[in-house]
A and B are shown apart, each in its own frame.
Chain A
Amino acid sequence: MPEKKDLQKDNEDIRIGVYTCYCGGNISDIVDCEKVRELTETLPNVVVSRTDMSMCSDAGQAMIEEDIRKHGVNRVVIGACAPSLHEQTFRGAVARAGLNPFLYYHVGIREQDSWVHHGNHEAATEKAIVLMNSGLAKARLLKPLKPIKLTAQKHALVIGGGVAGLRSAWDIANQDIKVTLVEKSPFLGGRMAQLETVFPTNKPARDSLHELIEKVIDHPSITIHTQAEVKSMSGYIGDFNIKIEQISRGVSSELADQEAVIDSCPVEVSDEFNYGLKTRKAIYQAYPGNFPSTLAIDWENCTLCGKCEKVNSSGIDLKKKSEIIDVNVGAVVVATGFKPYEPRQGEYGYGDFKEVITLPQMIRLLALNGKDKALMFKGRTVRNIGLIHCVGSRHVPGIHEPQEDGKVNDYCSRVCCTATLHMTNDIRQHYPDVNMYDVYEDIRTYGRNHEEYYKQASENLVRFVRFQAAEGPQVFASENGNDQPLVIKTKDYLTAGLDIEIPVDLVVLSVGFMPNPIEELTKILKINPGNDRFLQEVHPKLRPVETAVSGIILAGTAQGPMNIQESVTAASAAASKVSVLLGQGQVELEPFVADVDHDKCNGSGECVQVCPYEDAISLEEVTINGKVCKRAVVIPANCVGCGSCVSACPNRAIDIQGWTLGQYESMVDAIAEGMLALEVSA
């Protein structure tokens, strides 16, 4: 094996520094770090072996730097947390001391050892020693590597035209980075457009939203595509090639007599803007004053009857067209938002009784009802409203039924408590005679000025009834022909667990958040949802808006439940991250890509056939010793270092830089030897 020969040659020069981190007790409570230090200290090539309470601290890093500078350490092995957490941190320290940052190897002895072997100190310590030993074996074979530097497109794609997407787009564009914004629906504004006022400012929702939309539309660096969806993506951070499918609107922006055109349409479908409380036509606007102001054709429901064309032939084109737009961007912001939880048939009477609606529906009902007359629902005056919290949120396995995908909605939706109380205050203001009963588990008015809504609701004589998860409220039809059609039955833990019955005209379910269905998009972008199905950030504190795919950034409620303020803040934070990534016009990629030894390659092309990526490896004509022959050539920017080609190569001519077969073998050997030694000593 040639690597072993190289090792022999280099052996005398290799000076390894070994560092075992306590991780503030995370590791040292289980693993005897001092024993690890003592044993590794005696191993070949090891010059120093040290421990520290937290190696990633400035002092810990300074210690490593000093060893490199003063003690000639030229290979570094650190046993600490998972490399995903601090590999970058330590590469920085190694580089600052003047050593190639890839001459350092990170051994995970927290996630892979101390966190999974509680209560077995001895075995955990032995495992740590074995792991460190294999890290040392690799370190002896490390070679200096250079990161791959690439030009970054100063252009970002924002997916989603709700408040988070709009705000991200605007903030990014203000950093002199071009933005393309795509929105799946024909109109901008997302869920926020469906609100009337927003807490905690009580300002009209659409006024603020429209102000932002106008700014985004007017910004010279932002291009907007509505009725557009991302269809494919290739490339990498700094240089993503994205295909967007744009569906034609079917209506010209010049179209004059909008109302007559709408009236002519014979199709009536459920109006999603009003959550089904009304119907709309197949040629429609979301709401008066929406952006863009041009009507759109709902291609799914349009029967192509042509009646609208008869009213106005020049402004309407009933031929649905689709166009592919190619964009080349450096980063992608995913702001695909949420949808309100849709209760199951029969959940708190939803679907069984027409008087059971959701909070978003109630908000639309109040808007449609108007403020200066009695509150009506389906022809009846509403005098008593029951509000039930945590519908579709805070579900407990064993108590609540799982969703269709088998998962239990075990998360808190964060927004519903304040949103519900905000609404009760609105109701009290405009309908002073309505009685309200708020059936809750915990009231979570956590935000700045949110507690005020709770206080106000109490002052407004909203009656609070507290249930416990295991004994949640139930909704029944009224038995004795009461004035009120429904009755909520529950145990009330504010009154000593009494069984109480609340007759009501209307039940409003404070439904939680669900992510929008974006499975296809997540496959295209290769990003992952977490257990709660919302998109997963790398780390909530260290990299809160980044996904596992470099250059793909999260904004707003695609990541989890958030209110308007939090969505906008997250969107701005996402914009900051995009600006950090693309602002300098250059990005760096890790050099862990395939590398072909042209002396061993015979141009069999098997690597090209197994490569799952486009343009990552190909057979090219090269001149070797004056002879032209075919050899495999890697394009590093397109290679992800998956290793498929390595296993396919019949000549062992390919290796992944930084993860060579020789390195793997030495690590496996070290582990095997370590295990053997343990068995012998036992």
Chain B
Amino acid sequence: MATNKIKVDALVVGGGISGMQTALDLADQGYQVALVEKEASIGGKMIALSKVFPTLDCCSCITTPKMSAVAHQENITLLTYCEVDHIKQNGKGFIVGATNKPRYVDMDLCTGCRQCEYVCPVDLKNPFDNNLGAIRAIRVPFSTAVPQKVVLDIDNCILCGKCQTACAVDAIDFTQQPEEIMIETDSILLATGFEVTPKDAKKEYGNGKLLNVIDGLDMERLLAPTGPYGHVLRPSDGKEPDSIAYVQCAGSRDETLGVEYCSRVCCMYAIKQAMLLSGALPLADITIYYMDIRAFGKGYEQFYQNAKAMGIQFIKGKVAKIKEDENQNPVFRVEMVDEGGSVVEHTHDLAVLSVGMLPSFDPTPIFNVPNDTDGFIMTPDQNFSASLTMIPGIFAAGAATGPMDIVDSIMTAGSAASAASAYIKSQQNGKEESSSKIADLQKESQHA
């Protein structure tokens, strides 16, 4: 295996919005940064969203320029389709071993012309569309991907060779091997993001088996202009739904799932989607079943009040059960808290589970960074240095440290960059202050 070596001041793990912002904030200060992303493109969860609350900006308009800035910032070495395997303490810094996974495409030659993609005969479910649309076995991951290079899904490739014939620059290489990269760095920033509650988590909501019960991310893709159908259609019969209902806290604040925390974004994304749906389907009735509406951020409460004024119906009540009628319409059993607590059944055309946020990546085996009881990365000094982990020199940003929305993720990215740059400076100036402070904190938190 060929080994490349690079030396940087900071290694950022994760190319979603938090990782990109952290990398940009460090690189813009003049630090050398390596950004490692396991997927074939940066952009994370955010790039797949439709519009973002509370400004209703199109999500691409906010994300793609940042992706582009990362690609063009000279101080950033971008490593996509790459995963960290092991790290070793190196004085106060680290030596990180990472593997560039084979794309089966020569990155230097590929022009992103997509001719290979057009001739590929294999149609697969498109993970970028939450499996709602289709994609080829060789493809640019999505239209605004960075880098604009194709990647071949070797597990599903039938090795027909059509892509090789179509490629004008001879970039396709079925023999490509994993490549090892050694990254010497003074600091590491974990921006490994989140996953959402699996659709089959709750048997009360049909265990993921009811066709017309989708989740919030599915709806994001249905609403996105780059989405699979260009319309909001329900899965069972492709019909435009006239009545759409949201189930809040479907995976959060739920002890039966071991998730006691609030996922913080679901109220707002449900309200936002409801607003977008009233634009896309002006005649549809939209109902949000909730426990508490948590519209806490800047401009969020006003957004919620606007939604109410637009006629979106908010019903206080935890949905107990969803079943299906003979037309595959979801039927909700719900206690109407505001109406005397009567238990009623409401039939809708489409149900959307406002699924919560779960940790996506366990950093403990590789980075030796412990998690807290909620499964997210432990940050011992939550109030004063929320980006410090238990390991000096390793910092965390964004949803890797607990559920948060985009605005808050971007703030934590700036703050993590600030903490990391102070650490890098103190290492490079030979000062000990910063690391001894971390050691104190760790002692403190172990006592607590």
Residues in chain A within 8 A of chain B (CB atoms):
22-26, 28-29, 53-54, 56-62, 81, 85-86, 89, 92, 96, 167, 171, 174-176, 198, 200-201, 203, 208, 212, 393-394, 396, 410-412, 414, 442-452, 455, 468, 493-494, 496-497, 532, 534, 539-542, 544-545, 559-561, 564-566, 568-577, 579-580, 583-584
Residues in chain B within 8 A of chain A (CB atoms):
25, 28-30, 51-52, 54-55, 57-62, 64-65, 67-69, 71-72, 112, 143-144, 146-148, 224-226, 253, 260-262, 264, 292-302, 305, 316, 337-341, 374, 376, 381-387, 401-403, 406-408, 410-415, 417-419, 421-422, 425-426, 448
Q: Which of B72, B253, B417 is A96 in contact with, Cβ under 8 Å?
A: B72
Q: Which of A446, A569, A576 is B25 in contact with, Cβ under 8 Å?
A: A576
Given contacts A57-B60, A208-B383, A493-B338, contact A174 B293 (CB under 8 A): no
Complex Cα gap A559–B300 (Å): 14
Given contacts A58-B67, A62-B148, A86-B61, contact A53 B292 (CB under 8 A): no
Given contacts A446-B294, A493-B316, contact A451 B261 (CB under 8 A): yes
Q: Which residue of A lies closest to B224 (CB)?
A: A24
What 8 A-B pairs come out closest when comparing CB atoms? A573-B414, A25-B225, A572-B415, A57-B64, A24-B58, A448-B402, A442-B292, A57-B144
Assess whether A446 is in contact with B226, with CB atoms less than 8 Å apart: no
Minimum CB–CB distance from A191 to chain B (whole Å) comes to 14
Residues in A whose Cβ lies below 8 Å from that of B51:
24
Given contacts A24-B60, A25-B225, A198-B383, contact A559 B411 (CB under 8 A): no
Residues in B whose Cβ lies below 8 Å from that of A450:
262
Assess whether B29 is in contact with A580, with CB atoms less than 8 Å apart: yes
Other than the given A24-B61, A572-B418, A572-B419, 14 more pairs (CB < 8 A) read A22-B225, A58-B68, A58-B144, A201-B381, A446-B294, A451-B253, A468-B338, A496-B339, A497-B340, A542-B62, A572-B387, A573-B410, A573-B412, A584-B30
Complex Cα gap A451–B383 (Å): 16
Residues in A whose Cβ lies below 8 Å from that of B65:
56-57, 86, 89, 542
Residues in B whose Cβ lies below 8 Å from that of A208:
383-384
Given contacts A448-B261, A541-B62, contact A579 B57 (CB under 8 A): no
Given contacts A58-B71, A452-B260, contact A175 B421 (CB under 8 A): yes
Number of A-B contacts (CB under 8 A): 227
Complex Cα gap A171–B422 (Å): 7
Complex Cα gap A560–B301 (Å): 13
What are 19 A-B contacts with C-beta separation under 8 Å? A24-B51, A24-B61, A25-B58, A29-B225, A54-B58, A58-B67, A58-B71, A175-B29, A201-B448, A208-B384, A446-B264, A448-B374, A468-B338, A493-B338, A544-B414, A565-B382, A570-B415, A572-B415, A580-B29
Assess whether B411 is in contact with A493, with CB atoms less than 8 Å apart: no
Assess whether B226 is in contact with A53, with CB atoms less than 8 Å apart: yes
Q: Which residue of B lies closest to A86 (CB)?
A: B65
Q: Which of B386, B410, B425 is A565 in contact with, Cβ under 8 Å?
A: B386
Complex Cα gap A493–B291 (Å): 12
Minimum CB–CB distance from B160 to chain A (whole Å) comes to 27
Assess whether B411 is in contact with A496, with CB atoms less than 8 Å apart: no
Residues in B whose Cβ lies below 8 Å from that of A23:
58, 61
Assess whether A89 is in contact with B68, with CB atoms less than 8 Å apart: yes
Complex Cα gap A410–B54 (Å): 14
Minimum CB–CB distance from B435 to chain A (whole Å) comes to 13
Minimum CB–CB distance from B43 to chain A (whole Å) comes to 10
Minimum CB–CB distance from A416 to chain B (whole Å) comes to 10
Complex Cα gap A545–B415 (Å): 11
Q: Which of A26, A448, A544, A568 is B61 in contact with, Cβ under 8 Å?
A: A26
Q: Which residue of B lies closest to A495 (CB)?
A: B341
Q: Which of A28, A60, A559 is B298 in contact with, Cβ under 8 Å?
A: A559
Minimum CB–CB distance from B270 to chain A (whole Å) comes to 14
Residues in B whose Cβ lies below 8 Å from that of A61:
68
Residues in A whose Cβ lies below 8 Å from that of B339:
496-497
Residues in B whose Cβ lies below 8 Å from that of A534:
298
Residues in A whose Cβ lies below 8 Å from that of B296:
412, 414, 444, 446
Assess whether B143 is in contact with A496, with CB atoms less than 8 Å apart: no
Complex Cα gap A464–B385 (Å): 34
Residues in A whose Cβ lies below 8 Å from that of B72:
92, 96
Minimum CB–CB distance from A96 to chain B (whole Å) comes to 7
Q: Which residue of B lies closest to A62 (CB)?
A: B148
Given contacts A26-B58, A58-B71, A541-B57, contact A583 B30 (CB under 8 A): yes
Minimum CB–CB distance from B107 to chain A (whole Å) comes to 15
Complex Cα gap A23–B260 (Å): 39
Residues in A whose Cβ lies below 8 Å from that of B302:
410-411
Residues in A whose Cβ lies below 8 Å from that of B146:
58
Q: Which of A56, A539, A572 is B414 in contact with, Cβ under 8 Å?
A: A572
Q: Which of A171, A410, A443, A580 is B305 in contact with, Cβ under 8 Å?
A: A410
Residues in A whose Cβ lies below 8 Å from that of B300:
412
Complex Cα gap A393–B374 (Å): 30
Q: Which of B143, B316, B383, B408 is A201 in contact with, Cβ under 8 Å?
A: B383
Assess whether B301 is in contact with A411, with CB atoms less than 8 Å apart: yes
Complex Cα gap A181–B402 (Å): 33
Residues in B whose Cβ lies below 8 Å from that of A412:
295-297, 300-301
Residues in B whose Cβ lies below 8 Å from that of A410:
301-302, 305
Complex Cα gap A468–B147 (Å): 50
Residues in A whose Cβ lies below 8 Å from that of B261:
448-449, 451
Assess whether B305 is in contact with A541, with CB atoms less than 8 Å apart: no
Q: Which residue of B lies closest to A543 (CB)?
A: B410
Assess whether B418 is in contact with A576, with CB atoms less than 8 Å apart: yes
Q: Which of A86, A175, A200, A212 is B382 in contact with, Cβ under 8 Å?
A: A200
Q: Which of A203, A442, A445, A493 is B383 in contact with, Cβ under 8 Å?
A: A203
Minimum CB–CB distance from A472 to chain B (whole Å) comes to 15
Given contacts A58-B146, A412-B301, A444-B294, contact A568 B58 (CB under 8 A): no
Residues in A whose Cβ lies below 8 Å from that of B69:
89, 92
Residues in A whose Cβ lies below 8 Å from that of B148:
58-59, 62
Q: Which of B143, B341, B382, B387 is A448 in contact with, Cβ under 8 Å?
A: B382
Q: Which of A56, A96, A575 is B418 in contact with, Cβ under 8 Å?
A: A575
Residues in B whose Cβ lies below 8 Å from that of A449:
261, 374, 382
Minimum CB–CB distance from B47 to chain A (whole Å) comes to 9
Minimum CB–CB distance from B374 to chain A (whole Å) comes to 7
Residues in B whose Cβ lies below 8 Å from that of A203:
383
Assess whether A175 is in contact with B30, with CB atoms less than 8 Å apart: no
Minimum CB–CB distance from A422 to chain B (whole Å) comes to 13
Q: Which residue of A lies closest to B223 (CB)?
A: A25
Residues in B whose Cβ lies below 8 Å from that of A60:
64
Complex Cα gap A245–B57 (Å): 42
Q: Which of A176, A414, A452, A539 is B297 in contact with, Cβ under 8 Å?
A: A414
Assess whether B407 is in contact with A541, with CB atoms less than 8 Å apart: yes
Complex Cα gap A393–B298 (Å): 12
Assess whether B411 is in contact with A544, with CB atoms less than 8 Å apart: yes
Given contacts A450-B262, A583-B30, contact A175 B422 (CB under 8 A): yes
Q: Which residue of B lies closest to A28 (CB)?
A: B225
Complex Cα gap A529–B103 (Å): 50
Assess whether A494 is in contact with B337, with CB atoms less than 8 Å apart: yes
Q: Which of B144, B383, B415, B425 is A59 in contact with, Cβ under 8 Å?
A: B144
Complex Cα gap A532–B376 (Å): 33
Minimum CB–CB distance from B303 to chain A (whole Å) comes to 10
Assess whether B414 is in contact with A411, with CB atoms less than 8 Å apart: no
Q: Which of A452, A497, A570, A580 is B338 in contact with, Cβ under 8 Å?
A: A497
Complex Cα gap A167–B411 (Å): 14
Given contacts A56-B68, A208-B383, A411-B299, contact A579 B418 (CB under 8 A): yes
Complex Cα gap A54–B47 (Å): 12
Assess whether A443 is in contact with B292, with CB atoms less than 8 Å apart: yes
Assess whether B67 is in contact with A577, with CB atoms less than 8 Å apart: no
Complex Cα gap A468–B314 (Å): 12
Complex Cα gap A393–B301 (Å): 9
Given contacts A410-B302, A541-B57, A541-B406, contact A54 B417 (CB under 8 A): no
Counting chain B CB atoms within 10 Å of each CB, the highest count among A92, A96, A393, A542 belongs to: A542
Minimum CB–CB distance from A496 to chain B (whole Å) comes to 4
